[in-house]
Homo-oligomer: A and B are copies of this chain.
Amino acid sequence: MVLLSGGIDSATTLAFAKKMDMETYALSFRYGQRHAVELEAAKRIAQHFNCFEHLIADIDLRIIGGSALTAEIDVPKKRDLHDLSKKIPVTYVPARNAIFLSYALAWAEVIGSTDIFIGVNAVDFSGYPDCRPEFIKAFENMANLATKASVEEDKRVKIHAPLIAMSKAQIIQKGISLGVDYSFTHSCYDPSAEGLACGECDSCLLRLAGFRTAGIKDPIQYK
């Protein structure tokens, strides 16, 4: 069970799961994100890696708001990458990974899986609290008290976060060795109507810096 947003990290995480010879189920969310075009990327990636099933759950987080990704708040542009780690950005979506992982936990239980993969990483720090190892560990602990499978079958859920200690450049290099085609991925928070990346939001800047450091050309188009 792989959480698949359609970005670099989740695509690479899916490649990790495939490498472990697992049958993969991909889970994506239409949550009212302004960059819903990422779901097209998620579909291409799930198909490329022959996922057994790809589920897109409709969960409108705009009713909750509180984020530049789901409410009428401007996405920051052209920030200095060194400033990113100083403060949690307005693109933070309240409790998003807790919500996403809870859905993954539910679906994993139904299909009988005990392995949930999430592409969080805490090095090129996005500033998101729910991307830290201590959060992942606490979620896993909670998950193993939440389900029927944990009580009746003593099934232990494992939250895999294979990228958690990797930089963006390392992720890209590893992903290429695992067969990820990054031309399928989408990272931009604020794409054009045609779906082209802006090249200026935090997510684009981290992506571009990652490719630059890895010495690899970013295969996607920018506007």
Q: Are A132 and B106 in contact (CB under 8 A)?
A: no
Residue pair B145, A132 in contact (C-beta under 8 Å): yes
Asked if B151 and A129 sit within 8 Å, CB to CB, the answer is: yes
- With A142-B142, A145-B132, A145-B134 as contacts: A64 and B107 at CB distance below 8 Å: yes
Q: How many copies does the complex hold?
A: 2
Asked whether any CB of chain B lies closer than 8 Å to the CB of A143, the reply is: yes
A135 to chain B, nearest CB (A): 4
Complex contact A99–B97 (CB within 8 A): no
Q: Which residues of B contact A102 (CB under 8 A)?
A: 95, 98-99, 102
Q: Does A147 contact B (CB under 8 A)?
A: yes
Q: Which A85-99 residues sit within 8 Å CB-CB of chain B?
A: 87-88, 92-99
**Contact partners of A97 in chain B: CB under 8 A:** 146
| Bound form: Cα–Cα A94–B149 in Å | 9
Residues of A within 8 A of B (CB): 55, 57-61, 63-66, 87-88, 92-99, 102-103, 105-107, 109-110, 129-130, 132, 134-135, 138-139, 141-143, 145-148, 150-152
